[in-house]
Amino acid sequence: MLLNSPLMESKRREAALKIINSKVKKNRQNLYDLTGLSGGFPLKKNDINLLETYAGPAIFEEKLHPLGIEHLGGEKVLALNRTSSGLLASILALVKPGGETVHYLPQLPSHPSIPLSLKLLGAENREITKLSQLKVSEKTDLVIITASTMDHHVIGESEFREIIDAAHKQQVPVLVDDASGARLRTVVYHQPRALDMGADLAITSTDKLMDGPRAGLMSGKAGLVDLVKTKAHQFGLEAQPPLIAGIVRALENYNPERINNSISRKKELYKELQDKFLVKETPTGIMLQADDLMDKLKDVETSLKPSDVSGVLAMILLRNHNIVTIPAVGMPGASPTIRLDMASRDAERMDNKTIIHALEKSFNELRKVILNTNLCKEILFE
Ligand SMILES: *Cc1c(COP(=O)(O)O)cnc(C)c1O
C-alpha cells in the first residue's frame, strides 16, 4: 500500500500542487479543474479596504446575514473557516465528553472531520446508512445527517424528514452536513432546504457547486448558532474578514443555472462511457469508484490497493491531460473516487470527446504502470 497514512496523502497532494503550479504558471487555461470545487474569490475592489479585524466582520457579517438566510434558511448565520471547522465547532459545542451521537449518511464513508471531532471528545459515533438502524434515545446528544456524501450520494427527502422527527421526539438537535447538498439537493432533486424541514443547524461549503471561497456557511436556530459561534471563537475556527467578504460576494453571484445545465451534459457523457468503464452517474457528473477501477484491472497482477490505483490514475489525468480530480489534490481522508463534475466552471472549456479520450489514454497508461510499484510511487509523490 502506497497511500497508507494521512501523511502520505499530504505528500501526494503536495506533488499534485507542484504539477498544477508548473501548468498554471504558463497559463491558467492549461488546467481543467473538474472537481466541482472552484474556490472563487469574487471580491469587489472596495471590499479590500475593509478587511480589518473588527471593521471587516462589522460590515460583512451584516451583509452576510440576509444572503445566508436566503441560501440556507434559519434564524442566524455563522461563517467558518471551512465546513470541517464548523462541524468540529458544532460537535465541541453540542456533544458531551463521552457522549453519544447518531450519524446517518446515505453511503459510507463519512467526511473524516466528523469521526475525528467525535474522537476528540471520546464520544460514541454510531454511523448508520439505513433507517432501520436508527435509534435515538434521551441519552443521544446530537443527530448528524450527511445529506450529500463526498461522492454525491444524496439522502431521500422522506428519510430526511423521518430522522428529524425521530430526533425531535427525544428533544435531540439535528445538525446537517450539507456541504454540497445545500445546492445538489435543492437544485437537482428539488428538495427543501434542510432548515425548512426542521433541522436545527445546517452547514454548507461555499466552494462546492458555487464560485465561492473554501469556507463553511452555517445557519440554524439562533441559540444553537450562538453556542457554536462561541466555541468557534475559542478555538479559532471562525472565518476571518477576507473569507466572510468572499462568501458575501459569492452568494450575491450564485446562480443555479450551471448546475441545471450540467445534468443533460453528464447524461450524454455517461451514455458514452458506460460500456468502456464501470462509471456511475452522480447528480452533476460521472464517477469511477476505486473498487470498480480494480474490477476493470482484475487481469493485472498488482499489490496496490484500490485507493492507490485511483490516486495513480488521478495523477496521470493531471500530469498528461491537465484534468484535476480529488484523488490527486484532496486532503487526507478525502474520497478516492474519481469524480468528473460537469457543473465545474472549467468543464465548459472541455468537450465530452476530449474527456473520453483523456480517460481512455490514462487508463491504458495505468494498466502499464501498476505492474511497477516504484514507478507508481514516483507518479504519486514526485
Ligand atoms: C467537502 C465536504 C466536507 C468538508 O468541507 P471542507 O471545506 O473541506 O472542510 C464535509 N462533509 C462533506 C460531506 C463534504 O463533501
Who wins on pLDDT, 39 or 282?
282
Q: What is the mean pLDDT of residues 311-316?
A: 98
pLDDT digits (tens, 9 = 90+) for 370-380: 999 999 999 99
pTM: 0.93
Q: What is the mean pLDDT of residues 200-205?
A: 98
Tell me: pLDDT of 119 over 90: yes
Does ligand 1 come within 6 angstroms of the Cβ of 111? yes
pLDDT digits (tens, 9 = 90+) for 76-96: 999 999 999 999 999 999 999
What's the mean pLDDT when you consider all of the chain? Answer: 96
Tell me: pLDDT of 323 over 80: yes
The per-residue pLDDT for 357 is 96
Tell me: pLDDT of 328 over 80: yes
> In the chain, pLDDT over 70 holds for what percent of residues?
100
Bond prior to 242 in cis (omega within 30° of 0): no
Pocket test for ligand 1, best of 149, 154, 205, 282 (most atoms within 8 A of CB): 205
148 to 107, 226, 256: CA distances (angstroms): 9, 25, 17
Tell me phi and psi for residue 62, to 5 degrees. Answer: -65, -40
Residue 134 Cα to ligand 1 midpoint, Å, equals 23
The per-residue pLDDT for 256 is 95
Tell me: pLDDT of 1 over 90: no
Close Cβ partners of 249 (under 8 Å, ≥ 6 residues apart): 42, 43, 44, 47, 212
Residue 84 CA: which ligand 1 atom is closest?
9
Residue 330 Cα to ligand 1 midpoint, Å, equals 11
DSSP 312: H
Residue 194 Cα to ligand 1 midpoint, Å, equals 16
pLDDT digits (tens, 9 = 90+) for 259-280: 999 999 999 999 999 888 889 9
Cα–Cα distance, 296 to 113 (Å, whole number): 31
Tell me: pLDDT of 38 over 80: no
Tell me: pLDDT of 11 over 80: yes
Q: By CB neighbour count within 10 A (0-12 exposed, 13-18 middle, 19+ buried), where does 144 fall?
A: buried
Smallest CA-to-CA distance from 145 within 120, 132, 158, 128 is with 128
Q: What is the mean pLDDT of residues 328-345?
A: 94
User: Degrees (nearest 5) of the Cα angle 70, 216, 118?
Assistant: 125
User: If you write DSSP's letter for every residue of 8-37 in order, what string do you get?
Assistant: HHHHHHHHHHHHHHHHHHH-GGG-EE-SSB
The per-residue pLDDT for 245 is 97
Smallest CA-to-CA distance from 289 within 352, 364, 339 is with 339
Does ligand 1 come within 6 angstroms of the Cβ of 149? yes
The per-residue pLDDT for 193 is 98
One-letter identity of residue 295 = D
Cα–Cα distance, 353 to 363 (Å, whole number): 15
Q: Out of 39-53, 66-80, 156-170, 171-185, pick the least confident.
A: 39-53
Residue 10 Cα to ligand 1 midpoint, Å, equals 17
